[in-house]
Amino acid sequence: MHFKVCCINSIAEADLAIKAGAWAIGLVAEMPSGPGPVSDPVIREIADATKGRIKRFLLTSRTQPDAVVEHVQFCGTDVVQLVDAVPVETYQVLRQSCPQVQIAQVIHVQDETALTEARQAAEHCDMVLLDSGQPGGLVKTLGGTGNIHNWDISKQIVETLEKPVILAGGLTPENISAACARVGPSAVDLCTGIRDKQYRLDPQRLAQFAAKL
């Protein structure tokens, strides 16, 4: 089972993820709320330092075509993770302007409408990532909640889509085995479940997580 370590904030944290056997790292840019964002120059620095060593995801909350393309081109990652809903034009312009960059669309699993959203997104992206944000909440959250969503809905999405599906949302060393058995994702994505109270990456928790996969 591939795993992605998100909210990486330094080259040192990226190195920890690589040593633990991670398939990918997530670099979080500016968000409307939540933990983990770092500046675009820091994202570029980490991306440059890890090029060719691990798959690098840029998490962007931008939605408009030109803004997303500009963000991707500056940060220089392998994948752009769209954490909010975007117009179809954004996918099209990304394909034209950044053909070497893969697209991961986040679907926030709040209810069964996520099934339709995932099917529609899968027509335009390379992979779908299931998370537990609340894009329509009073405080807009687009990830990093530490909350679990309805895994039964996630399982239905995995069974429906032909594209790879990554499971995120409240995953920990304690629940990862159950999550994988229930949902059957292509990969898993973790952040808060392997960090300490100061939000630093915990090598012991990370090793415990990797050992369960």
Is residue 6 within 8 Å of 25, Cβ to Cβ? yes
pLDDT digits (tens, 9 = 90+) for 173-190: 999 999 999 999 999 999
187-207 pLDDT, tens digit each: 999 999 999 988 899 999 999
Q: What is the mean pLDDT of each run of 10 residues along the chain (213 residues)?
A: 97 98 98 89 98 98 98 98 97 98 97 97 98 85 90 98 97 97 97 92 96 93
Structure tokens at 179: 């999550």
User: How much is the pTM?
Assistant: 0.96
**Can you give the pLDDT at residue 101?**
98
Q: What is the 3-state secondary structure (H, E, C) of 35-75?
A: CCCCCHHHHHHHHHHCCCCCEEEEEECCCCHHHHHHHHHHH
Say how far apart CA 131 and CA 144 lie, in whole Å. 9
Please give the pLDDT value at position 140: 86
Radius of gyration of the chain (CA): 16
pLDDT at site 155: 98
> In this structure, what are the phi and psi dihedrals at residue 197, rounded to the nearest 5 degrees?
-65, -25
Domains assigned to the chain = 2-211 (3.20.20.70)
pLDDT digits (tens, 9 = 90+) for 46-59: 999 999 999 999 99
Mean predicted lDDT score pLDDT of the chain = 96
